[in-house]
Amino acid sequence: MSLTNRILLSMVAGILTGSLFNLLLHGVTVPGLVQVVIADYLVGGLFDVVGRIFVASLKLLVVPLVLVSLICGASSLGDSARMGPIALKTLCLYLLTTALAVSAALLFAVLVGPGTAVQLGAEATFQATAAPPLTDVLVDIFPSNPIRAMADGKMLQIIVFALLTGYAISHAGEPGRRIATFFRDMEAVVMTMVGILMALAPYGVFALLAKLFANMGIGAILDLAAYFFTVLAVLLFHLFGVYSVLLKLLAGLSPKMLLNKMRPVWAFAFSTASSGATLPITLHTAEKRMGVHNSVAGFTVPLGATINMDGTAIMQGVATVFIAQVYGVDLSMGAYITVILTATLASIGTAAVPGVGLITLALVLEQAGLPVEGIALIIGVDRLLDMVRTAVNVTGDVTVSVIVAKSENQFDQEVFLDPRADRGEPLPADGPPTV
């Protein structure tokens, strides 16, 4: 069985196992010893330990991978006049997809009306974290201490430092060429580490999903079914519809091939609910399975993992309409436009802030004149939706990377069209085997 199929099988097994354990712990009467074994030794013990180690191992690779990939990419493009256009295309495409995402979310939510039948009971409380001023966000992009930025995982600062380093390497003559060779070798080593981790992925995916569904259960979806399935429908529409149209129109490539090759990335994104933790697998897929040249993928994918939040924008759009309907507030056309602009810009403006989803949602609600306390109504199912949102985000990262690479002739179409990557067979290319 290929690695892709083993990861998908582990996802299904984890969801079913977690749901069964949730039923045994909360739905039916079972002996106390059985509950102790399930709750303390399996869910709180084995699954928790394996899942946390798996996520920690993914995060371990994020900073070195972003650093060496961006340095290699920037050093390759440093002497080229195309570096500026590549950055501009990437940023514009990320903003475009985010604007389309929140617009579709508002349209679907208005048509469906997920909050019209919700009875507002005892109001839960939610303490929103204040979004930082825009000036602070802009200043914080530039690192004063790159080592501290790497230790703290401040991705925008790491990106800026890596781009400056790569650009300097390209203009340093012979010393720069020696350093560039070192970083290319480092990138090969890190990508080999990614391949090793992918081989262990089914166990980590199973443990993460089994623990999550054992604690939450499928029943959490039923309480907010209209909201949950509205957000889910828009996410799937954006994933399979919008990205496919953009890829076909702007690059003339087969959306089916891209979506087939994204399945392992979706499994990682779904289980970790973190674009940052999934970044090593996303970059590996963009380069080795999609055929995007490293000079482009090394820039577009890490940047997308930091600022591209189409899935989060969709949640914000539906949640805004949902909360407005629950509280009986009629939103004007001006309010809808404000939501679109705020959600689009906030996807970049608060990218370096922890808990960005709730912070940007609070910002959007304030701009629309809605009570921020309404966020408490949707927290119950947000963790499950966050898993799908992350899958949408990483698909957007890869789609934009392919489009930009194709437009810049930094794209290997033979690799993209090779179906063997879907079966887990190695491609005839340098680097670790594609799985």
In a domain, residue 60? The reply is: yes
Q: Is residue 434 part of a domain?
A: no
Whole-structure pTM value: 0.72
Residue 432 lies in a domain: no
In a domain, 430, yes or no: no
What tokens were used for 223? 């309480």
Cβ neighbours around 419 below 10 Å, total: 10
Number of domains comprising the chain: 1
**Dist CA 296 CA 290 (whole Å):** 12
pLDDT digit string (tens) for 297-341?
888 888 888 778 888 889 889 988 988 888 788 888 878 888 888
CA 255 – CA 270 distance, rounded (Å): 20
Question: Would residue 372 count as lying in a domain?
Answer: yes
Q: Considering the domain boundaries, does residue 146 fall inside one?
A: yes
Residue 428 has pLDDT above 50, yes or no: no
Q: Confirm whether 276 is domain-assigned.
A: yes
CA–CA distance, 310 with 315 (Å, rounded to integer): 9
Positive or negative: CA dihedral 91, 108, 376, 387: negative
Tell me: the pLDDT tens digits for 43-85? Answer: 888 988 988 888 788 778 778 877 887 788 777 766 556 677 8
CATH number, residue 153: 1.10.3860.10
* Full domain range(s) for residue 48: 3-423
- What average pLDDT does the segment 222-244 reach? 89
pLDDT of 348 over the 90 cut = no
Report yes or no: 22 and 217 within 8 Å, Cβ to Cβ: yes
Residue 350 belongs to some domain of the structure: yes
Which value, in Å, is the radius of gyration of the alpha carbons in the chain?
Answer: 22
